[in-house]
Amino acid sequence: MRISKEKAAEHRRAIVEAAGRRFRGRGFDGVAVADVMKEAGFTHGGFYNHFDSKEALAAAACHDEIGRANLGLATELGRKGRPWERYRDQYLSAEHRDDPAHGCPVSALAADVARQPRTVQASFAAGVAAVLDTLAAHFARSSRDPRRRALREYSEMIGALILSRAVADADPALADEILAASRV
């Protein structure tokens, strides 16, 4: 049955959100279009009324997810105290490590993205560039080379989370140690 334009747009949004969660949790190739549609509350056949392909969905999900993450980072960095240190320490928590589906899309998908089609890479890269700009702007007051500091600190944070996730099941002590080393 046909659906109102408002409803349809709402459904599209629900699909992108479901995709964002699934992709972060299991990677692009670990998630079927039917999974996403089911999580969003639909059957799989209608997917192609909203997107040309799974690739287009991945690109849309990257755009939305990283955009939201960047907004969240900017908001946090606007607070008083040592906001970056707080943000980073929460990022490097066991909770974040153990729940990638609700965590940062950059650490969850960075490695996957390198093997995805160009449109997905473009969407992801634009998001990462924006995040790094946000971070560099924050360091502008406190650092002599804010841009470089942003890049290095971000790389370390991403790397620590990815490494910790890789060894978490087999060697929990090492996983915790990796996170702790990059905190504070």
Partner DNA sequence: TGTACATCAGTGAACGCGCGTTCACTGATGTAC
Q: Report if residue 118 touches DNA, rule: CB under 7 A.
A: no
For 72-84, b/e burial (b = at least 16 CB within 10 A) is ebbebbeeeeeeb
Binding site for a second copy (CB under 8 A): 26-27, 29-30, 100, 106, 109-115, 118, 121-122, 124-126, 128-129, 132, 147-148, 151-152, 154-160, 162-163, 165-171, 174, 177-178, 181-182
Exposed, middle or buried: residue 170 (CB in 10 Å: 0-12, 13-18, 19+)?
Answer: exposed
Q: Does 11 bind DNA (CB under 7 A)?
A: yes
To which H or E segment does residue 6 belong? helix 5-26
The CA distance from 144 to 158, in Å, is 23
Does the protein bind DNA through residue 109 (CB under 7 A)?
Answer: no
* Cβ closest to DNA, residue 6 vs residue 95: 6
Binding site residues, DNA, CB under 7 A: 1-8, 11, 31-35, 37, 42-50, 53-55
